[in-house]
Amino acid sequence: MQDTSIHSERDSIHEPEQVRPTIGGQPRKRARPAFTPFPWITIALLALTLAGCSLGGTNGATTGGSRVGQSAAPTVVVPPSAADLQQTVISVIRTVQPSVVEISSRGSNGGAVGSGEIVTTDGYIVTNDHVVDGFSSYSVTLANGQSYDAALKGQAPDDDLALLKIDAKNLTPIAFAESKNVQVGQFAIAIGSPLGLEQSATFGIVSAVNRTATEGSDGPARYPLTGLIQTSAPINPGNSGGALVDLQGRLIGVPTLAAANPNSGAAADGIGFAIPSDRVKFVADQLISTGKLTNTGRGFLGVQLQDVTPELAAAYNLPVKSGVLIVGFGQDANGKSPAQDAGVKTGDIIIAVNGQQIESGSTLSTALSGLAPGAQITLKIARGGQTLEIKVTLGERPAR
């Protein structure tokens, strides 16, 4: 076992023994000096001797009034452009922090901590639905340390968004950017309460846009989340519902998910996803006005599907080895399946949408993301030994 005991410096420093100088191993007899040196000469010689010993044998000791950190060690000259960027990041964080809050949810089965952002001066706060879903009471802590009880005013589970309200005035709402203009490579700053560490900021870039991800069986969304912004700014538990902002301090997305490493099951470093701000604003406006999402604004194909794999294709003698197999149909907001109405049948395999190859349900969701109800698409279908093209007018995805 490694010895972790700590010894004081006093234990490791020993005073040198005073030894009489010798010649040939015998004590040297002192000769009577012919004259007695003046005291100041003796003091000067002693000072020189001690100084010589110090210069030759110090081990980190300071001499002559020197202090740690006062040496002329080399430093890096920061270019003005880098200094400006650094100051911009600092300014963005200081500007945005008053608009970001910590949310504590409590219920009979325990509690959770997440983040949110103020969207109106009179206390409406947007967060993720999974931060509040299943709990009965909520509290919000502002950047200045003030805490308020909060009321749950609306939920949109399929978008994993929710709305809280606190009784406060003259708050600082966050500014919104148009996420449709976000570009891969632009800087992004995430602000929230990861692991309960309130008002924490992380820095990265926008790694990709228009991503599709699923929350798994324990998430509130029954559909995959589409149109997501991928970022390298670290996202940890507690960041959920917080703010992902640009260098102007404007919201570009709400951090919601971190990718999981398939080998370990733990969160993958530097791969997080945020709900785009355009979608956040669309949902939040409805939750404020009606308390629920009445119009999803999303196109809906109305199919139930299964991913086609080489193994599945071999087992059922399918004509293709990738795509999505239609196993049933779903109803849109008007109670019908647009795909079925257009002539799609169970057993068909969608292999392309508008010329984009479809390999799985995830790529199908990505191809349809951003399309509004009424949009017309062309499906390329494998049916038996035939390849067909079927035009479908999308319906509206139903609100839960």
Helices first, then strands: H and E counts in the chain: 8, 23
Cβ-based neighbour number of residue 265 at 10 Å: 7
| 8 A C-beta contact, residue 220 and residue 157 | yes
Catalytic residue among 104, 115, 200, 240: 240
Contact 180/206 with Cβ under 8 angstroms? Answer: no
DSSP assignment, residue 213? Answer: E
Phi, psi of 150 (to 5 degrees): -125, 150
Q: Give the DSSP H or E segment for 304.
A: strand 303-308
Bridge partners of 23, per DSSP, are 26
Which ranges in 241-360 belong to alpha helices (H)?
Answer: 277-290, 310-316, 338-342
Is 240 annotated in the active site? yes
14 is catalytic: no
Per DSSP, the residues of 234-250 read: ---TT-TT-EEE-TTSE
Question: 129, 158, 160, 246: which is the annotated catalytic residue?
Answer: 160
SS3 49: helix
Phi, psi values for residue 190, rounded to 5°: -100, 130
For residue 311, what are its two tokens?
């193994």
Half-sphere exposure of 17 (CA within 13 A, CB side): 3
- Beta pairing partners, 176: 251
Known catalytic residue: 7?
Answer: no
Q: Which of 130, 322, 337, 369 is catalytic?
A: 130
The catalytic residue positions are: 130, 160, 240
